[in-house]
Amino acid sequence: TRAFVDALIPGFERDILSIIGRGVVEDKDLIPPITDNRDFNMGLIRCDPGKGSSLHIHATIECFFILSGTWSIEWQNKDGTMHEAILGQYDTVSVPIGLSRGFHNIGDESALMLAIIGGTNPGKVLWPQETIDEAKKHGIEFDVTGDLVYHGDEAESV
């Protein structure tokens, strides 16, 4: 889906299904089935093998609960130290506020995990400049409100 700015960058393709609240989804047209999101947002993430997300920062806690497959959850402490947790079915990790985080399906099959983001208004995702620059090459950028705008044939085909 086109839920995030990194969606068209090779290696970061994934499906996002918001369940409760919009979370930090950047596509204003993606409306969850349950909009009453007091205190938390919840969604599913499905990735094919080798796919995942770019490193990014939330202004809230993000909890990952693995439903299937094997996942690498990466995060960077404020001192720049990178960490990785390899998680399997029913494992859970919570990434604190303000830390850069990312994830990848490192298994051999499509995998599914549940993501829970704290807060009624979790704000917007903060992306590294290199992710924003690469997304622009694939026809994606932000409008003044922080929602996604798609340009070009590549963006239209997603």
The chain-wide mean pLDDT, for the chain, equals: 88
* Res 156: pLDDT: 45
Of 129, 126, 154, 130, whose CA–CA distance to 140 is shortest?
154
Instruction: Give exposure, 20-43, as e/b (b: 16+ Cβ within 10 Å).
Output: bbbbbbbbeebebeeeebeebbbb
Which domains does the chain show, CATH number per domain? 15-156 (2.60.120.10)
Give the tens place of pLDDT for each residue, 78-96: 999 999 999 999 999 999 9
How much is the pTM?
0.85
Residue 146 pLDDT class (50, 70, 90 cuts):
confident
Give the tens place of pLDDT for each residue, 56-84: 998 889 999 999 999 999 999 999 999 99
